[in-house]
Structure 1
Amino acid sequence: MSKSVEAPMAQGQVTRQRLLDAAAALIGEVGWNAVTTRMAAERAGVRSGVVHYHFASVDDLLVAASLGVAGALLRSVSDELAGHDDPGEAVDWLLAELGRYGPADPASLLMVEMYLAATRMPELREQLGDMVLEFRRVVAGWLRERGFPGDADAAAVLLAAVIDGLMLHRGLDPRLDLTAVGAPLRALFGKDDTEEA
């Protein structure tokens, strides 16, 4: 490919990414349904028509932007969990990490908006559902590799739901101390004491 063709392609990718970043930020700031093409273009520093060059609609832009953020977050948590050999230590890390996100954190707000939008948008629901299923599959595999004595698939579902639930509760109660749920969560992923009885 010639350099004359590569330069416009690279510039197009940069512009597309700027639009995705702008849309992701706006979802958290004003809500999914309030984001417009004009707002995204202004935030990205491009003309409004450029949005429709890269995305068929504002919903397509919002879906792509939110899935990008969700995918990155889920991969980050999966990768970090893989680095912990002890599930209890992983729980402590996870709670500390979740504690860094306040109720007004843009990524947290984006995820809440995205889950709500997914109830009304089958395409988004399917793609987000696939990401969550993959996250649960990775977590279940991680638990099995560490000798988890129970149903690893069910435990992975619970962990994903706990993450979502804790972040929703933080939005309602900013004073919520996530470390307070450490003991029961560690017990969930620790050794099953009933097996020794």
Structure 2
Amino acid sequence: MRTADTRERILTAACEVIAETGFEKIRMRMVAERAGVSTALLHYHFDTREKLFTEAMTHSFANTAVDVDRDAETAPAAVILGRIVRNLLPTDPVLHQDWRLWQELWVRALRDETTRVFAVDLYGQLHAWVAGAVRRGIATGEFAATDVDDLSTLVLSLSDGYGIRLMLRDPTVTLDTALTSIWRHVAAALGLPETMPAG
């Protein structure tokens, strides 16, 4: 258990430091200090910065997914899908940090083939996350039938576009307008009300 706790602490610290400093500027020592562990212990768990970075990204995504899907078996499908859409945007400080990590991933993926492959795989997981919620709603009769992969790609594309502008603090885009716009497309495809469900 202690090993799992240590890894969790290191990954949480890595997410924070990468988001604050940027991947290219971080040193393993900085993450070790933030996590309250020795550099030697950090290297025991993660022998390279690259491995630490990819595991931190995976850790960040996994934590977001767990929070959204906490009652997926009992909550209405529209509520779950609405949560996913909210969590694809920088809607709170934790998700803002996640977005900074994604931006670091995009930049690194442009220059490093291993990171590019990893980024494509993470997008595949995001696509499956959205698609799974849509398929669940169609299967239960809550959603109208639609091209699930096409809708999932659209949701991710809109989320990326709006998310970047929100991260840039573009004064012409607000979180409310972004959510309203994305949900309007979701609602039209799935036969849902245009008001995003609470929860």
* TM-score bracket for the superposition, by shorter chain length: 0.7 to 0.9
Match of 1:153 among 129, 149, 153: 149
- Render the CA deviation track for 1:28-73: whole Å, top value 9, x for unaligned: 1100111101111111222222222111212211221122102322
Q: Which moved more, 1:69-78 or 1:16-25?
A: 69-78
- Render the CA deviation track for 1:70-121: whole Å, top value 9, x for unaligned: 232245446677733348x944883498463369932221221123223333
Q: What are structure 1's unaligned runs of at least 5 residues?
A: 1-9, 193-197
Highest Rg: 1 or 2? 1
* Number of residue pairs aligned between Structure 1 and Structure 2: 183
Displacement after TM superposition at 1:19 (Å): 1.8
Percent pairwise identity: 23
Match of 2:92 among 90, 101, 106: 101
Q: Could you tell me whether the CA contact under 8 Å between 2:110 and 2:116 is conserved in 1?
A: yes
Displacement after TM superposition at 1:151 (Å): 1.8
Letter of the aligned partner of 1:167 in structure 2?
G
Q: Work out the CA distance in 2 between the residues paired with 1:132 and 1:81.
A: 21
- Residue 29 of structure 1 pairs with residue 25 of structure 2: no
- Residue 134 of structure 1 pairs with residue 125 of structure 2: yes
2:197 counterpart residue number = none
Q: Which has the higher contact order (CA 8 A, sep 6+)?
A: 1
1:162 counterpart residue number = 158
1:51 counterpart residue number = 42
Q: Work out the CA distance in 1 between the residues paired with 2:87 and 2:128.
A: 23
Q: Could you tell me whether the CA contact under 8 Å between 1:78 and 1:135 is conserved in 2?
A: no
In the superposition, the TM-score normalised over structure 2's length comes to: 0.73
1:177 counterpart residue number = 174
Letter of the aligned partner of 1:185 in structure 2?
I
Q: Could you tell me whether the CA contact under 8 Å between 2:14 and 2:31 is conserved in 1?
A: yes
Q: Could you tell me whether the CA contact under 8 Å between 1:66 and 1:110 is conserved in 2?
A: yes
Q: Work out the CA distance in 2 between the residues paired with 1:152 and 1:14.
A: 38
Secondary structure of 1:190 counterpart: helix
